[in-house]
Amino acid sequence: MQSDTLKKTKAAKFFAAVLTAVVLASAAVAIPVCAVLTAGEARPVIVVDAGHGGLDGGVVGTRTGVKESDLNLAVALLLGGMLEEEGFDVVFTRAGKGGLYLDGERGKKSADMRRRADIIARSGAVGVVSIHMNTFSDPSRRGAQVFFDASSSRGRALADAVQTELNRSFNLPDAGREFAALAADKFILQQTSAPSVIVECGFLSNPDDERNLSDEGYRARFALALAGVIARELTSGSPYGTVSAGTF
Ligand SMILES: [Zn+2]
C-alpha cells in the first residue's frame, strides 16, 4: 500500500498540466513568474501531504457535506503536478482517497500519521507542504491560513512567503481580510529539518469558501499560486544548481 502512495501519479500530473493551461488561458488570472531549475540538474524532492483520508474525513462542509479529505487530495494532486513542472520530484503521502493504514490494523490514526512521518523522513525532501481545510464556530470566518513549527526559522520563512502570496491573491479579494502565518505544535511539521508548512486552504464552515474550494477552477488557481511561491522559495539560493527565471 505504501508503494502505491509513493508512486508518482502521471495521470494527476497530466490533469494538472491541462488545468494549468486552462487557468493560464484565463485573462483574469495573474501569471506568476517562477524559478525553474536548469535541465540536467538533480531534481529536489518535495513532499505534498493531503491531510486525512479513508476513515478520517477531516472537517465537513456545512452547505454540501463535502469531505475535507477529498478536497485536500484534489488540491494536493494539482499542486504536486505543478511542482513537478517546476522541476521538483514530488512524493505524495497519499495519492488516493484511502488513509495510510491497513484493514484491521489497530490504532489507524496513529498508524496513518506514523507512515506519513516515515515517508517524509525517507524522502530527503527540501520542503513539506501539508494541505488541509479549516473550520470555525463563527461561519463568517473565511480565508487561507498557513502554519509552521516555531522551532524552524526556515519553516517560518516559507510560511510567511506562502501566507503573503495567499493574502495577495485570495484573502483580500475573497475573504476581506489577511492572515499572518502562525506557529503550531503539529506532528506533520516536525518530521524533518527542511521547511514544512500546513496550508489551510479555507473554512468549510463558511459557505463562500466551501463553494470556492468545491470548484475545480478555483482549486486550480489556488494550487497555481501555491506552486509558484513554493517553487520560488525552495529554489532561490538552493544547493540544487543554477536557478533561472521562467514561467509555467
Ligand atoms: Zn485537516
Tell me how far the alpha carbon of residue 58 lies from the centroid of ligand 1, in angstroms: 5
Is the predicted pLDDT of residue 101 greater than 70, yes or no?
A: yes
Is the predicted pLDDT of residue 18 greater than 60, yes or no?
A: no
The amino acid at residue 88 is F
Residue 190's alpha-carbon distances to 18, 26, 128, 231, 241, in angstroms, are: 34, 38, 10, 21, 27
Tell me how far the alpha carbon of residue 147 lies from the centroid of ligand 1, in angstroms: 12
Tell me how far the alpha carbon of residue 239 lies from the centroid of ligand 1, in angstroms: 32
Q: Report how far residue 125's alpha carbon sits from residue 113's, in angstroms, rounded to the nearest whole number.
A: 17
Tell me how far the alpha carbon of residue 134 lies from the centroid of ligand 1, in angstroms: 7
Mean pLDDT of the chain: 85
Is the predicted pLDDT of residue 5 greater than 60, yes or no?
A: no
Tell me how far the alpha carbon of residue 212 lies from the centroid of ligand 1, in angstroms: 17
Tell me how far the alpha carbon of residue 205 lies from the centroid of ligand 1, in angstroms: 13
Is the predicted pLDDT of residue 237 greater than 60, yes or no?
A: no
Query: Which tens digits make up the pLDDT trace of 113-166?
Result: 999 999 999 999 999 999 999 999 999 999 999 999 999 999 999 999 999 999
Cell 495519492 maps to which residue?
Answer: 95
Query: Are 75 and 201 in contact, with CB atoms under 8 Å apart?
Result: yes
As a three-state string, the secondary structure of the chain is CHHHHHCCCHHHHHHHHHHHHHHHHCCCCCCCEEEEECCCCCCCEEEEEECCECCECCCECCCCCCEHHHHHHHHHHHHHHHHHHCCCEEEECCCCCCCCCCCCCCCHHHHHHHHHHHHHHHHCCCEEEEEEEECCCCCCCCCCEEEECCCCHHHHHHHHHHHHHHHHHHHHHHHCCCCCCEECCCHHHHCCCCCEEEEEEEECCCHHHHHHHCCHHHHHHHHHHHHHHHHHHHHCCCCCCCEEEEEC
User: Domains in the chain, please, with CATH?
Assistant: 2-247 (3.40.630.40)
Tell me how far the alpha carbon of residue 1 lies from the centroid of ligand 1, in angstroms: 22
Query: Which tens digits make up the pLDDT trace of 78-94?
Result: 999 999 999 999 999 99
Tell me how far the alpha carbon of residue 51 lies from the centroid of ligand 1, in angstroms: 6
Q: What is the pLDDT of residue 7?
A: 45
Tell me how far the alpha carbon of residue 75 lies from the centroid of ligand 1, in angstroms: 13
Tell me the three state secondary structure of residue 130.
strand
Q: What is the pLDDT of residue 37?
A: 52
Query: Which tens digits make up the pLDDT trace of 188-207?
Result: 999 999 999 999 999 999 99
Tell me how far the alpha carbon of residue 232 lies from the centroid of ligand 1, in angstroms: 25
